[in-house]
Amino acid sequence: MKGFRTLLATMLVVAINAPAFALDKVTLRLDWVYGSEHAPIFLARDKGFFEKEGIDVTVLPGQGSTVTVKLVGNGSEEFGYAAADQGLMAYAKGLPVVSTAVILQKNPVAVIFPKSSGIKTLTDLYGKTMGVLFQSVGEKQWRYVIKYNKLDQSKIHEVALDRNIAAMIEANKVDASLAFFFNDGLKVVSDGTPMDWILLSDVGLPIYSTALLVNEDLLKKNPDLVRRFTRAFVEGWKYSVDHEQEALDAFLKANPTVDAKYSALKLPEVLKLTQSAETEKNGIGYSTKEKWEEMQKALVDMGIMESPIDVSKVFTNDFLK
């Protein structure tokens, strides 16, 4: 009898508070498979940042920024975490994708190589074999860097590589490779070979990296939701910068089968990329029109974009406040 009364009371409490339990259910599609570069997102979810904002988020792994951008632009998912330059390209092609927070301020594409190779600058690549992701925008970025730095391309022996960069380096089949430094580069380090890298961003390629993307129609229809989501999202990153271990733990707990050593190496490097002169002043996720236009110019020069568009359509800092 007592049990029944408790049950009744609980039901009443739930019924009265029902409106508070109606969370907004949304999906967030990442740029790639789960990695510790997403640790702050897992932390934000599991520590309740989203719930606090009245959001029930389902985090989904991705198959490349291209796919994520298409999904968000098509309205199939509400939010995406993918490369800002892909977002810009998509908008130009008629997919209405808007960045509400540019998290990684620097493009992580780099030329990676073992420390033992003795490579210090780009010209040290002359006479060496280098893996290039021929089927990606990365290759165009590399060409741009070559042009910008007036390198002699014929002196570098390029071979086609995509998915097995770490393995190829470890097998000594290539001396260097174009790669996401915190993915393939750190994987090799984790396996025992010290690596070094030259970020393309440091040799003339000003490109934003992953950002929080949202469909423009959703933004216009429900700006409050976008604001709440962006807030929770950015808070996750802010918190992680100051509590790196906690973020790593949250990620490892959610993904028990990952390589913990590799994950631990990656997170600090990724968190470093969230910092720039603008974010110091304005907080994580802030982007400037100048930088977007600079990026667009590079994309146009690379031949990836046909003609420039009005970048102010493609991003906003409004939701960061």
Partner 1 sequence: MIRNSFTRTLGQVGVFVVFFALWELAVDLLHVKAVILPPPSVIFQSMYKHWYYLLQNSWPTLIAVAGGFAIAAVLGFSIAIGIAYSRWVSEMTYPFLIAAQVIPKVALAPLFIIWFGFGLAPKLVIAALIAFFPIVINTARGLISVEPELIQYMRSLGASWSEIFFKISLPWALPYIFASFRISITLAVVGAVVGEFVASDSGLGYVISYANVSLDTDVMFAGIFVLSTLGMLLFLAVVLLEWFFISWQMAVEAPPETM
Under the rule (CB under 8 A), what is the footprint of partner 1?
64, 66, 69-70, 73-74, 86, 89-90, 93-95, 132, 134-137, 158-164, 167-168, 171, 173, 304
Q: Which helix (H) or strand (E) holds 157?
A: strand 157-160
With respect to partner 1, which residue has the nearer C-beta, 19 or 94?
Answer: 94
Question: Minimum CB separation from partner 1 for residue 160, in Å?
Answer: 4
Cα–Cα distance for residue pair 287/270, rounded to 1 Å = 17
Cα–Cα distance for residue pair 55/24, rounded to 1 Å = 5
With respect to partner 1, which residue has the nearer C-beta, 55 or 305?
Answer: 305
Question: Minimum CB separation from partner 1 for residue 35, in Å?
Answer: 18
With respect to partner 1, which residue has the nearer C-beta, 195 or 302?
Answer: 302
Which structure tokens are listed for 224? 């409050």
Measured CA to CA in angstroms, residue 183 lies from 66, 223, 265 at distances of 18, 34, 10
Cα–Cα distance for residue pair 182/268, rounded to 1 Å = 10
Alpha helix segments (H runs only) across the chain: 2-16, 39-46, 49-52, 65-73, 84-92, 137-148, 165-170, 186-190, 216-221, 223-242, 244-254, 260-273, 277-282, 289-302
Question: Minimum CB separation from partner 1 for residue 318, in Å?
Answer: 26
With respect to partner 1, which residue has the nearer C-beta, 1 or 171?
Answer: 171
With respect to partner 1, which residue has the nearer C-beta, 92 or 264?
Answer: 92
How many other CB atoms are there within 10 angstroms of residue 160's CB atom?
A: 10
Q: Name residue, tokens 């359509």.
A: 313
Question: Minimum CB separation from partner 1 for residue 78, in Å?
Answer: 17
Question: Minimum CB separation from partner 1 for residue 184, in Å?
Answer: 13
Measured CA to CA in angstroms, residue 232 lies from 52, 164, 237 at distances of 8, 35, 9
Question: Minimum CB separation from partner 1 for residue 95, in Å?
Answer: 5
The answer to whether 85 touches 303, Cβ cutoff 8 Å, is no
With respect to partner 1, which residue has the nearer C-beta, 161 or 232?
Answer: 161
Question: Minimum CB separation from partner 1 for residue 135, in Å?
Answer: 4
DSSP assignment letter at 152: -
Find all residues with CB under 8 Å of 235, minimum gap 6, and list them.
44, 49
Question: Minimum CB separation from partner 1 for residue 63, in Å?
Answer: 11
With respect to partner 1, which residue has the nearer C-beta, 72 or 103?
Answer: 72
DSSP assignment letter at 130: E
With respect to partner 1, which residue has the nearer C-beta, 65 or 274?
Answer: 65
